[in-house]
Chains A and B, each alone.
Chain A
Amino acid sequence: MTEDHIIRLRSHSPSGEKRGNTSWVQCGSCDGWFHATEDIVSRGTVKLHCNHCHTEFLPSQARKIVLA
């Protein structure tokens, strides 16, 4: 899986600053966003399911992925 479409949010944050813990996937078919765990994305072989258009695709086929 290439990294071109994956954005990894910074893991370190100064003490007292809030950083969200939720990763998001943008569907390659409908551009809708849904949230998924880093685990299912990093496996690379489990097809993701867009809950908006119900397309299934591998993480490599996502429009964009933001990993928290």
Chain B
Amino acid sequence: MARWMSDLRTFLNEESAHVWRPEGPVALVQEITALQQALDARQHYPVIEIRQPKGPDGTINPISVVCNLTASRALTARALGVQDHRDFAATYAQRTANPIPPIVVGRDAAPVQQIVMRGEEANLLDLPVLTQHALDPGPYLTAAHATTYDPDTGVDNTAIQRCWVKAPRRMSYYPYPASHNTRNLRKFWAKDEPCPVAFWIGHHPKVLLGTQAKLSYPESHWSACGGLLGEPLRLVPSITHGDKIMVPADAEIVIEGWAPANVWEADGPFGEYTGYMGAQVAAPVCEVTCITRRENAIYHDYGSGHADMLVPDNMVMEGKIYGMMKPIAPSVRRVHVPVSGRRFHAYVSFENPGIGEVRDALMAALAYRRTKAIIAVDDDIDLFSDSDIMFALATRVQWERDVITATGLQGSLMDPSLARGAKTVQKAGIDATLAPSEIPGAPRPVPPRNSVGTAALDAAIARLTGIDTKNWPVL
């Protein structure tokens, strides 16, 4: 009997009260993503399960689509047993620092290999793949974790890669130039060999977050997943590549194949995490040899550029930044990478930092490739309120004194503000904390904030409870 472990279904059951299942058919072309976009605008983040996904030809796909799985910070944190999402960074940093190696199970104990389709039986077009945005050129897998290995060491790497489904057994996919999967690909291609690859789709958010751990090269994500799961991740050898490429035994769907050496095709434009369309690029292709799946598989999709995709990666970034800053600055309390900033900036709170401590911490974290700006604030500022952050910037910063800038650093080449032709970015660390106290026992030499007292505020909130406010102006 298969050993029970957390998977996508476990999570859907755990959070069943927060799953919305719209009635009737919903089109794969733009309509599902439109629901996510509309919900994001309303700041409502239910998990969505589409039981009748409708293809472009009008047929209803028998495989359900799940999206918005990780649009909510609260649900995503709770998936890891963190009750307050604001404390996610510290927990994530601690658990991924304590990895648990995976275990390998046989095919008979691997739900993801209940159905195996080889050769012409394998058909990507049987999957309910979404065309998310108006300018996307076709249907894209957005929750497919491309898994390759370093031919020199055998160490695997797994990372989400967008995949344009072009034909029943052909898709282009785009590993970013600086990614570990690209390094592995280049090593095979340098020997004129095709690169073995497998893409797995659908699992518990603990595993999804584990695969987004920011590791060195070459370093396997499977143990980081185990650290978050609190138990070994169950793996099974892939059908095409055997134990050279393992895949999660409890995933929903796996697509296996080869990237032929030095074959490039157009990929994109594609709606990206930046909130803009990513440009068309030259990308490798995957020639599919096999698709395996559960008997009643669920297809997972991330809404690219929407909270669904931003939240999990941003929360993982929080853990990474916390881990970089805390050894330098013990006064670090919390980290927030807001959806509003895509992945480009982070807010960090400090509690009574010592002289120079904030700037030391900013210097340390600016080396992190992903962030472009880090804003440091005191812990009286709500890190999860963009309005509060703006208040800190407006009243606690002198731009010449409080901003550290550095040029020529690694960053995202998808940043629309990048200078023409540039391959590096300019970054800023902004110290928006108040001046520290200089006399022991005396207040900081800054004015107190104006606010009513706690008792008066509690009474006001009680008075407002239950009042119909729908006709009150919001601006």
Contact = CB atoms under 8 A, between A and B. Distances in A.
Tell me if A's interface is mostly helix, strand, loop or mixed: loop
B contact residues, range: 10 to 19
Interface in B408-444: 416, 418-422
A19 B419 contact: yes
Nearest to A40: B282
Interface in A1-52: 9, 11, 13, 19-23, 25, 34-37, 39-40, 43, 46-49, 51
B137 A51 contact: yes
B269 interface: yes
Contact of B266 (A22, A23, A48, A68): A48
A35 B420 contact: no
A37 B279 contact: yes
Contacts, number: 63
Tell me if B's interface is mostly helix, strand, loop or mixed: loop
B457 interface: no
B261 interface: no
Nearest to B421: A11
Contact of B282 (A21, A25, A39): A39
A contact residues, range: 20 to 34
Contacts of A39: 281-282
Nearest to A18: B417
Given A22-B279, A35-B277, A35-B279, A51 B269 contact: yes
Nearest to A35: B279
B125 interface: no
Interface of B: 135-137, 264-266, 268-269, 277, 279-282, 416, 418-422
Given A21-B416, A37-B280, A49-B137, 4 more contacts: A34-B280, A36-B269, A37-B281, A54-B137
